[in-house]
Amino acid sequence: SNLFPTGWTGFNERGFIAVKPDGVQRRLVGEIIQRFEKKGFQLVGMKLVQASEDLLREHYRDLRDKPFFKGLVRYMSSGPIVAMVWQGLDVVKMSRRVLGETNPANSLPGTIRGDYCVEVGRNVIHGSDSVESAQREISLWFRPDELECWEDSSAQWIYE
């Protein structure tokens, strides 16, 4: 988009969101996409993927020393994931609020994790925790040509 020629921050910030295998199995993909769409974010990349354990170990490399790491990789490779890139103003920080807390027990109703799951080890969705990790995760999960730049005709009704 030429509307916001400021680089991948501000209006053009991009975040990586993934519906985890339990979210796909439990038919939550449509509901989750709808929440980001209705909020006003712009979808710029999406695919259904069976992630390899290598990819997941790299994705979660900061957690490699945690006791739950092995189980986390097994969970995340247990079925297909819907990987997405969403764009918009402060999308990374706002997505974390849409998701809720890491542990669904601490997530308020109205958040995805607050509404759709119970345990931290089956918390249905991933969202990048910073702009830096978003950029790392997007380049890990998507090739540049898998991301679409399209003019958002509703931008003038979402941004002042």
Q: Which region, judged by CB under 6 A, interacts with ligand IDP, from 27-35, 44-52, 119-127, 149-157?
A: 119-127
Which of 37, 19, 22 lies closest to 141, judged by CA?
19
- What is the total count of residues that contact Mg ion (CB under 5 A)? 1
The partner in contact with residue 77, picked from Mg ion, ligand IDP, none with C-beta cut-offs of 5 to 8 angstroms by kind, is none
Rule CB under 6 A: choose which of 33, 89, 120, 131 binds ligand IDP: 120
Instruction: Calculate ∠ Cα 29-32-35, nearest 5°.
Output: 150
Rounded Cα distance between 77 and 79, Å, is 6
Residue 126 designated active-site: yes
Give burial (CB, 10 Å; 0-12/13-18/19+) of 60. middle
Does 10 help bind ligand IDP (rule: CB under 6 A)? no
User: Three-state SS for 41?
Assistant: coil
CB of 102 to ligand IDP, least distance (A): 3
**Contact footprint for Mg ion (CB under 5 A):** 129
Positions marked catalytic: 126
